[in-house]
Amino acid sequence: MTSARDDRLTVIAISALACALQDVLHEGLGHGVTAWFSGAHRLTLSTVALQSDIETRWISANGTLVNLLFGAIFWLLLRRPSRYQPATRYFLVIAMAGNLFTGTGYFLFSGVANFGDWAAVIHRLQPYWAWRLGLIALGAASYYASMLLVASALPSTLGANAGLLSLPSMTRGPLPGDEERTSLIARSLAWIAAGAVASLLFILVLGRGITWSR
Protein backbone atom coordinates (compact mmCIF):
# COMPACT_ATOMS: atom_id res chain seq x y z
CA MET A 1 0.00 0.00 0.00
CA THR A 2 1.16 3.50 -0.77
CA SER A 3 -0.54 6.86 -0.50
CA ALA A 4 1.77 8.45 -3.05
CA ARG A 5 -1.22 8.91 -5.32
CA ASP A 6 -3.38 10.64 -2.71
CA ASP A 7 -4.70 13.85 -4.19
CA ARG A 8 -2.44 16.55 -2.79
CA LEU A 9 -4.87 19.42 -3.18
CA THR A 10 -7.50 17.54 -1.19
CA VAL A 11 -5.02 16.57 1.53
CA ILE A 12 -3.80 20.19 1.80
CA ALA A 13 -7.36 21.52 1.94
CA ILE A 14 -8.38 19.07 4.66
CA SER A 15 -5.26 19.87 6.69
CA ALA A 16 -5.85 23.63 6.39
CA LEU A 17 -9.49 23.24 7.45
CA ALA A 18 -8.55 21.13 10.48
CA CYS A 19 -5.82 23.59 11.49
CA ALA A 20 -8.15 26.58 11.28
CA LEU A 21 -10.81 24.69 13.23
CA GLN A 22 -8.63 23.95 16.25
CA ASP A 23 -7.52 27.60 16.40
CA VAL A 24 -11.07 28.94 16.22
CA LEU A 25 -12.18 26.46 18.88
CA HIS A 26 -9.34 27.57 21.16
CA GLU A 27 -9.57 31.33 20.72
CA GLY A 28 -13.24 31.74 19.85
CA LEU A 29 -15.25 29.08 21.64
CA GLY A 30 -12.81 28.59 24.50
CA HIS A 31 -11.56 32.07 25.37
CA GLY A 32 -14.08 34.25 23.55
CA VAL A 33 -17.38 32.68 24.61
CA THR A 34 -16.14 32.32 28.18
CA ALA A 35 -15.13 35.99 28.29
CA TRP A 36 -18.46 37.08 26.81
CA PHE A 37 -20.50 35.14 29.37
CA SER A 38 -18.15 36.34 32.12
CA GLY A 39 -19.25 39.90 31.45
CA ALA A 40 -16.67 41.26 29.03
CA HIS A 41 -17.79 44.40 27.21
CA ARG A 42 -15.22 44.38 24.43
CA LEU A 43 -13.59 41.42 22.69
CA THR A 44 -11.08 41.24 19.86
CA LEU A 45 -10.61 37.82 18.31
CA SER A 46 -7.75 37.00 15.96
CA THR A 47 -5.86 33.95 14.78
CA VAL A 48 -3.29 34.30 17.58
CA ALA A 49 -5.13 35.68 20.60
CA LEU A 50 -8.34 36.71 22.30
CA GLN A 51 -8.23 40.13 23.93
CA SER A 52 -10.93 41.20 26.35
CA ASP A 53 -11.44 43.92 28.92
CA ILE A 54 -11.58 41.40 31.76
CA GLU A 55 -9.30 38.55 32.79
CA THR A 56 -10.18 35.46 34.82
CA ARG A 57 -8.62 32.05 35.33
CA TRP A 58 -11.54 30.43 33.51
CA ILE A 59 -11.07 32.61 30.45
CA SER A 60 -7.40 31.60 30.34
CA ALA A 61 -8.09 27.92 30.96
CA ASN A 62 -11.02 27.30 28.66
CA GLY A 63 -9.13 27.59 25.37
CA THR A 64 -7.16 24.50 26.30
CA LEU A 65 -10.13 22.72 27.84
CA VAL A 66 -12.23 23.21 24.71
CA ASN A 67 -9.41 21.78 22.56
CA LEU A 68 -9.21 18.73 24.82
CA LEU A 69 -12.99 18.31 24.74
CA PHE A 70 -13.12 18.36 20.95
CA GLY A 71 -10.06 16.12 20.75
CA ALA A 72 -12.05 13.59 22.78
CA ILE A 73 -15.11 14.06 20.53
CA PHE A 74 -13.07 13.39 17.39
CA TRP A 75 -11.52 10.34 19.07
CA LEU A 76 -15.00 8.99 19.83
CA LEU A 77 -16.05 9.55 16.22
CA LEU A 78 -13.02 7.52 15.11
CA ARG A 79 -13.93 4.53 17.25
CA ARG A 80 -15.53 3.00 14.16
CA PRO A 81 -13.24 4.22 11.37
CA SER A 82 -14.63 1.91 8.71
CA ARG A 83 -17.80 4.01 8.47
CA TYR A 84 -15.88 6.95 6.93
CA GLN A 85 -14.50 7.65 3.50
CA PRO A 86 -10.70 8.11 3.44
CA ALA A 87 -10.89 11.92 3.18
CA THR A 88 -13.34 12.19 6.09
CA ARG A 89 -11.27 9.89 8.22
CA TYR A 90 -8.15 11.91 7.44
CA PHE A 91 -9.94 15.10 8.53
CA LEU A 92 -11.04 13.52 11.81
CA VAL A 93 -7.54 12.27 12.57
CA ILE A 94 -5.90 15.62 11.78
CA ALA A 95 -8.56 17.51 13.75
CA MET A 96 -8.13 15.17 16.72
CA ALA A 97 -4.34 15.53 16.58
CA GLY A 98 -4.45 19.33 16.34
CA ASN A 99 -6.81 19.72 19.27
CA LEU A 100 -5.03 17.22 21.51
CA PHE A 101 -1.55 18.53 20.74
CA THR A 102 -2.61 22.16 21.22
CA GLY A 103 -4.38 21.38 24.46
CA THR A 104 -1.74 19.22 26.10
CA GLY A 105 1.15 21.22 24.65
CA TYR A 106 -0.06 24.35 26.41
CA PHE A 107 0.49 22.77 29.82
CA LEU A 108 4.11 22.03 28.96
CA PHE A 109 4.74 25.37 27.24
CA SER A 110 3.35 27.46 30.09
CA GLY A 111 5.19 25.43 32.70
CA VAL A 112 8.55 25.74 30.95
CA ALA A 113 8.26 29.30 29.60
CA ASN A 114 6.19 30.75 32.45
CA PHE A 115 4.07 32.38 29.77
CA GLY A 116 0.72 31.80 28.11
CA ASP A 117 -2.70 30.63 29.18
CA TRP A 118 -1.73 28.30 31.99
CA ALA A 119 0.84 30.68 33.41
CA ALA A 120 -2.13 33.03 33.83
CA VAL A 121 -4.20 30.23 35.39
CA ILE A 122 -1.60 29.49 38.10
CA HIS A 123 -0.63 33.14 38.64
CA ARG A 124 -0.22 33.87 42.37
CA LEU A 125 -0.88 30.27 43.37
CA GLN A 126 1.63 29.07 45.95
CA PRO A 127 4.07 27.44 46.04
CA TYR A 128 4.46 28.73 42.53
CA TRP A 129 7.44 26.53 41.66
CA ALA A 130 5.39 23.43 42.50
CA TRP A 131 2.54 24.54 40.22
CA ARG A 132 5.01 25.11 37.38
CA LEU A 133 6.57 21.69 37.90
CA GLY A 134 3.09 20.21 37.95
CA LEU A 135 2.28 21.84 34.61
CA ILE A 136 5.50 20.52 33.10
CA ALA A 137 4.83 16.99 34.33
CA LEU A 138 1.19 17.10 33.22
CA GLY A 139 2.13 18.54 29.84
CA ALA A 140 4.85 16.00 29.11
CA ALA A 141 2.72 13.03 30.16
CA SER A 142 -0.47 14.18 28.43
CA TYR A 143 1.33 15.18 25.22
CA TYR A 144 2.98 11.77 24.97
CA ALA A 145 -0.35 10.09 25.71
CA SER A 146 -1.92 12.16 22.93
CA MET A 147 0.77 10.98 20.50
CA LEU A 148 -0.02 7.37 21.40
CA LEU A 149 -3.74 8.02 21.00
CA VAL A 150 -3.33 9.65 17.60
CA ALA A 151 -0.94 6.92 16.48
CA SER A 152 -3.49 4.23 17.40
CA ALA A 153 -6.07 6.03 15.28
CA LEU A 154 -3.82 5.77 12.23
CA PRO A 155 -3.55 2.58 10.23
CA SER A 156 0.10 1.81 9.57
CA THR A 157 -0.12 2.79 5.92
CA LEU A 158 -1.71 6.20 6.46
CA GLY A 159 0.59 7.06 9.33
CA ALA A 160 3.75 6.04 7.53
CA ASN A 161 2.95 7.83 4.32
CA ALA A 162 1.39 10.95 5.79
CA GLY A 163 4.41 11.49 8.00
CA LEU A 164 2.15 13.06 10.61
CA LEU A 165 4.35 14.74 13.20
CA SER A 166 6.93 11.95 13.17
CA LEU A 167 4.30 9.42 14.24
CA PRO A 168 5.00 6.60 11.75
CA SER A 169 7.23 4.72 14.17
CA MET A 170 4.47 4.78 16.78
CA THR A 171 1.64 3.50 14.62
CA ARG A 172 0.30 0.06 15.29
CA GLY A 173 0.90 -2.77 12.88
CA PRO A 174 -1.59 -3.40 10.10
CA LEU A 175 -4.76 -5.20 11.03
CA PRO A 176 -7.18 -7.08 8.79
CA GLY A 177 -9.23 -4.58 6.86
CA ASP A 178 -6.67 -1.77 7.00
CA GLU A 179 -6.15 -2.01 3.27
CA GLU A 180 -9.80 -1.29 2.65
CA ARG A 181 -9.97 1.54 5.19
CA THR A 182 -6.90 3.28 3.86
CA SER A 183 -7.96 3.62 0.27
CA LEU A 184 -6.47 6.54 -1.57
CA ILE A 185 -7.78 10.02 -0.88
CA ALA A 186 -9.39 10.98 -4.16
CA ARG A 187 -9.82 14.54 -5.39
CA SER A 188 -12.82 16.14 -3.74
CA LEU A 189 -14.00 19.53 -4.95
CA ALA A 190 -16.13 19.85 -1.82
CA TRP A 191 -13.14 19.44 0.54
CA ILE A 192 -10.98 21.71 -1.63
CA ALA A 193 -13.64 24.44 -1.65
CA ALA A 194 -14.19 24.15 2.10
CA GLY A 195 -10.45 24.34 2.75
CA ALA A 196 -10.01 27.32 0.43
CA VAL A 197 -12.91 29.27 1.96
CA ALA A 198 -11.76 28.48 5.51
CA SER A 199 -8.19 29.54 4.69
CA LEU A 200 -9.28 32.84 3.14
CA LEU A 201 -11.54 33.69 6.07
CA PHE A 202 -8.86 32.64 8.54
CA ILE A 203 -6.17 34.79 6.93
CA LEU A 204 -8.04 37.79 5.56
CA VAL A 205 -10.78 38.20 8.18
CA LEU A 206 -9.71 36.53 11.41
CA GLY A 207 -6.07 37.36 10.78
CA ARG A 208 -6.87 41.07 10.97
CA GLY A 209 -9.00 40.60 14.05
CA ILE A 210 -12.72 40.91 14.76
CA THR A 211 -14.03 43.16 17.54
CA TRP A 212 -17.34 42.92 19.42
CA SER A 213 -18.62 45.51 21.88
CA ARG A 214 -21.71 45.81 24.05
Question: What is the band of 22 on the pLDDT scale with cuts at 50, 70, 90?
Answer: very high
SS3 55: coil
123: left (phi over 0), alpha (psi -120 to 50) or beta: beta
3-state SS string for 88-128: HHHHHHHHHHHHHHHHHHHHHHHHHHCCCHHHHHCCCCCCH
pLDDT of amino acid 111: 95
User: What is the longest distance spanned by two Cα atoms in the chain?
Assistant: 57
CA dist., res. 89 & res. 178, Å (int): 13
The set of residues, in sequence order, having a beta carbon less than 8 Å from that of 171 and lying 6+ positions away, is 151, 152, 154, 155, 156, 159, 160
Question: What is the band of 164 on the pLDDT scale with cuts at 50, 70, 90?
Answer: low
pTM: 0.84
Q: Is the per-residue pLDDT at 1 higher than 50?
A: no
CA dist., res. 51 & res. 41, Å (int): 11
For the chain, the average pLDDT equals 86
Q: Is the per-residue pLDDT at 113 higher than 80?
A: yes
Q: Average pLDDT of 36-65?
A: 95
CA dist., res. 167 & res. 97, Å (int): 11
Residue type, 174: P
pLDDT of amino acid 159: 41
* 27 closest CA partner among 146, 150, 117: 117
* 201 closest CA partner among 5, 20, 9, 6: 20
pLDDT one-digit tens code per residue, 60-76: 999 999 999 999 999 99
CA dist., res. 101 & res. 110, Å (int): 14
Angle at 143 between CA 154 and CA 166, to 5 degrees: 45
pLDDT of amino acid 163: 38
CA dist., res. 163 & res. 115, Å (int): 30
For residue 181, the cross-strand partners are none
- 180 compared with 65, residue with greater pLDDT: 65
